[in-house]
Structure 1
């Protein structure tokens, strides 16, 4: 028997404020594509159920177009159960939008309390340890959202605690019998979500559960810390390159350099930023460094003697963190971005055709 454990995919959480509007729209489509690819992986590998432990969507508006694709992934794979728990108490817009529930979509704690497979594998949910009453003879998987104290969940006959609510992959022991695991996110959405991203495949046989991490993200996010004593742009570039060589970073990844130093001119920082922006899919220098540089530049500019004012002076800003306006996700924008991402992916031509068929059929678009 095989299961997939994933969490915190947040298909409606726009990353545009982190990466700018154009890259943000592309990243949205890439994250949606990664979800579709995960479901295709489940179908190809004869996975029995996909466990989504919270926040497939976050609170707020849910794009009808994206919801159609998610529904199509679920209803188009009737041999796979999709077990879901919400990442919060109270109303969940996603479960409301899914009503009436497809037969293979089960909201644990709402539509039913637990699911039993092959007589011994039981999947249930609990918010607190004292809610559990598990049989010692079963192979028990518990879906949970939120941070835990592992000691509180010991000696409860848990074999695998499938947790959500933590962006990074993390796991550990639950006493002598079980393990807990945070699968992390499928894709990083900001530089607070660096590191490996993907999902957990659970291989179950002979009354044992073997977790395997599957790297699924199209791109990885990296944060590089550098403290420099130089103010020379070329020297700082060489120092950054040395740091980059210590990590396996692809030119398709997203990189942030948090630079600490003094006396670095605005021109030098812009030179550094432009050099690495040409190298990576997305590159950013720490905003505070740029702010200090621009403030310093503003303070050292020699101003001419004042003349009588004849017109109001325009407002002058040395630096401000401005975010692009998040545009409403229309059919045309999503369709165009989705097609581009699929065609640029490393999938085989056969897989590209199938993924496009799933996505465009769900969007109500014509074939490509």
Structure 2
């Protein structure tokens, strides 16, 4: 039996330029990606992991300079009892100008960088780890059938790509074909969420989320791999989460109730986006901006998306036939409810305060 830790898509030095949160949070988030990489190694050492598999996109090539590679290899070299295998992905490909080519990896680090099938053998573990890495910007569908495996070994495959045929430029592979292979475990990367596809096939997902598009638990997989069988265990591990909530106001909503509900979901660890929808009283709307800002110390980071209506204007809209037709038209559109609310507010020129209040 071989004990394996499977992770991927850490994206060290990702700049997070398109994130909605301010730049100081992006800087902290980049540092936390390094911290989590070290925590993964600590976990592996403490739990006597035999092989650490990083299934692509360990870092962002565009921003990962020689100094960062020295830092990374120095970190890896401190865990000489661990065997760390890196598969190149689309963000850290082994291209002509790859930073990987500028520095010799530590003895305990193994690079799977060829876009032709290759393997690294660990005789003491009776294990071979195969991989198809990235060497350029895009790949069409790849075939992994007809690989001649030695069944005296535990055989593991690492891939970085998509199961969706519409994204064939990202090394598309067919799940049915993977299922027909004789690999004891197939470690996938590229998708940032954990996906358990078969007894012996999984995406680990990213160990840390990067923005509000990456919600849910993030972590890695621990696998006990045997010949012909494996036992997987997903380990939640992220330092922070991104989470979205909705609070629906009505005519009876009051300040105390609202504050209580928001504080009930708050913490000083995660990123929150809270949509405020529905009808709000004129009295409460006047206080709302102050209330939102007063909640800032209860969160690490929160952004409020204010889609509320003042009660009297909702009634006017219901009573005026022209406004009522406009309301019906917007509500019949096939778009997200929060976008409908914002469209109605803008159309009526009744935006109350900032539509998005960013609070620390």
Provide TM-score, normalisation by structure 1.
0.68
**What's 1:270 paired with?**
289
- Kept in 2, the 8 Å contact 1:228–1:260? The answer is yes
Moved more, 266-275 or 140-149: 266-275
Q: Which runs of 5+ in 2 are unaligned?
A: 133-141, 164-173, 308-337
d(CA) in 1 for partners of 2:209 and 2:97?
A: 23
d(CA) in 1 for partners of 2:344 and 2:13?
A: 35
Partner secondary structure for residue 13 of structure 2: coil
1:116 has 2:121 as partner: yes
Shift, 1:292, TM fit: 4.3
Pair 1:135–1:154, CA change in 2 (3 A):
farther
Of residues 57, 78, 83, the one that matches 1:55 is 57
Partner secondary structure for residue 130 of structure 1: coil
Shift, 1:121, TM fit: 2.3
d(CA) in 1 for partners of 2:145 and 2:106?
A: 31
d(CA) in 2 for partners of 1:286 and 1:135?
A: 57
**What's 1:72 paired with?**
74
Deviations, residues 201-258 of structure 1 (Å, cap 9, x unaligned): 223457643222222212222112444445956277268549x65xxx6432221113
**What's 1:188 paired with?**
209
Shift, 1:29, TM fit: 1.6
Pair 1:5–1:297, CA change in 2 (3 A):
same
Pair 1:299–1:147, CA change in 2 (3 A):
same
d(CA) in 2 for partners of 1:281 and 1:299?
A: 33
Shift, 1:282, TM fit: 0.8
Of residues 89, 100, 107, the one that matches 2:104 is 100
- Superposed, 1:1-368 pairs within 5 Å as 1-15=2-16, 17-88=19-90, 91=95, 95-96=99-100, 99-110=103-114, 113-117=118-122, 118=124, 120-126=126-132, 127-130=142-145, 132-148=147-163, 149-173=174-198, 178-204=199-225, 208-230=229-251, 234=255, 237=258, 240-241=261-262, 250-261=267-278, 267=286, 270-271=289-290, 273-286=292-305, 292=342, 299=349
- Kept in 1, the 8 Å contact 2:94–2:113? The answer is no
Give the aligned length: 299
d(CA) in 2 for partners of 1:98 and 1:231?
A: 65
Shift, 1:9, TM fit: 0.4
d(CA) in 2 for partners of 1:94 and 1:217?
A: 28
Shift, 1:293, TM fit: 9.8
Shift, 1:143, TM fit: 0.5
RMSD over aligned CA atoms reads 3.8
d(CA) in 2 for partners of 1:162 and 1:238?
A: 45
Shift, 1:163, TM fit: 0.7
Shift, 1:8, TM fit: 0.6
d(CA) in 2 for partners of 1:35 and 1:52?
A: 11
Which structure has more RCO (C-alpha within 8 Å, separation ≥ 6)?
1
d(CA) in 2 for partners of 1:267 and 1:36?
A: 48
Partner secondary structure for residue 79 of structure 1: coil
Q: Which runs of 5+ in 1 are unaligned?
A: 302-317, 323-368
- Kept in 2, the 8 Å contact 1:294–1:319? The answer is no
Provide TM-score, normalisation by structure 2.
0.69
**What's 1:361 paired with?**
none
